[in-house]
Structure 1
């Protein structure tokens, strides 16, 4: 659904859904005083380079019969991109026709997360179109009413939107899901379970906004089914994190965020 937490209970397809938490005030709790972090990182970097140089200079020419431990490390192929174009068609602007492979299921899940985290979910007509495009027909038929109740006018008002889900004059509503990685938890000929680790952006960008655009980190897990030549969602659920340590980046003003949203488009994600 949305990038962070959403209203109501019961997830899409009845698997558990979280709630949206609005900021308590203008203070961003993710940003803490870490003025010495850059200097610390510099010192640590120099020490690491020095140790590496000493180890390289003192390495022996002989080959040891004992294991080096490298055999236990994850292989790069585990997370490397497949290099395959995931799809060549779209439905209502959403990629369709994903390959009947583990990589295809992961590509589908990533792109479905993007669709479910978009601003289109906040207006009834586009929300129904998105749900119909990416869920199985059985799941979609059960979700329309439930989602309409979740995206109530009172909930939209709390986000600074009009009752129909449109932003107020002079405001830019931001809602984006940015997949960082995917993992096939389970894969079979007709079903697959895929987790998508993502960063979300959500909030209202305007001079008078009480809900400024902020970021959140979540993991979205989709249960997929192979239906009529494509992967479709049967159920899904979200959990918090894993979230990295916040950086020291300066928070952008509302004008900068609004321009960035208008100037930078999204992607079609492939595994």
Structure 2
């Protein structure tokens, strides 16, 4: 669960050094290079689609929260865990192409016991389950999201 929360932070999206250090701490030695390439490419695509530039990178809101977990397989050496997550991502810049939006994703994490710790061997994801939007509120303004992102601490993760 903490692995996916760590991969959901704004710094993970925008700071290659943070991303690489995070991956080095959590991935198996065999999976590290592949996941680093995948996430570097993925983050470039996401940032581009969100309209994040060097001038507005501090306006990025990126957070994830685990809604639940389940272990689907387990041995002393390998485990598979599913993590159902809610996420927020977007830019609090009124000129950005995508405002802060919510997503629901289930990640399947294959963990391997390596060097005295559980490390990620692979990460896969599918959309959902996604709850019904009650539609009772209008979306929050860009300014309100900017304020909330700065005033509320992100959930901690072990790392």
- The corresponding residue for 1:160 is 51
1:221 to 101, 108, 111: 108
Q: Give CA deviations for 1:200-254 in whole Å, capped at 9, x if unaligned.
A: 1011112222210010111111000122222110001001111111021331111
Report the number of matched residues: 156
1:253 aligns with 2:145: no
Using a 3 Å threshold, how does the CA distance of structure 1 residues 155 and 217 change in structure 2: closer, same or farther? closer
Using a 3 Å threshold, how does the CA distance of structure 1 residues 125 and 239 change in structure 2: closer, same or farther? same
- The TM-score, its normalising length taken from structure 1, stands at 0.53
| Matched ranges for 1:69-108 at <5 A | none
Using a 3 Å threshold, how does the CA distance of structure 1 residues 146 and 198 change in structure 2: closer, same or farther? closer
Using a 3 Å threshold, how does the CA distance of structure 1 residues 258 and 216 change in structure 2: closer, same or farther? same
- The corresponding residue for 2:12 is 121
Using a 3 Å threshold, how does the CA distance of structure 1 residues 157 and 222 change in structure 2: closer, same or farther? same
Distance between the aligned counterparts of 2:85 and 2:117, measured in 1? 23
- The corresponding residue for 2:68 is 181
SS in 1 for 2:23: helix
| Matched ranges for 1:231-250 at <5 A | 231-247=118-134, 248-250=136-138
RMSD: 2.1
Distance between the aligned counterparts of 1:167 and 1:197, measured in 2? 33
Point out the structure with the larger strand share: 2
Deviation at 1:141, TM superposition (A): 2.4
Using a 3 Å threshold, how does the CA distance of structure 1 residues 176 and 167 change in structure 2: closer, same or farther? farther
1:131 aligns with 2:23: yes
8 Å Cα contact 1:160/1:167 also seen in 2? no
- The corresponding residue for 1:144 is 36
1:194 aligns with 2:81: yes
8 Å Cα contact 1:160/1:209 also seen in 2? yes
Q: Could you tell me which runs of 5 or more consecutive residues in structure 1 were left unpaired when the two chains were aligned.
A: 1-109
- The TM-score, its normalising length taken from structure 2, stands at 0.87
Q: Give CA deviations for 1:107-136 in whole Å, capped at 9, x if unaligned.
A: xxx110111122223222111111111111
SS in 2 for 1:252: coil
Using a 3 Å threshold, how does the CA distance of structure 1 residues 116 and 269 change in structure 2: closer, same or farther? closer
Deviation at 1:157, TM superposition (A): 2.8
Using a 3 Å threshold, how does the CA distance of structure 1 residues 259 and 117 change in structure 2: closer, same or farther? same
8 Å Cα contact 2:110/2:122 also seen in 1? yes
SS in 2 for 1:224: strand
Which is higher, the Rg of structure 1 or of structure 2? Answer: 1
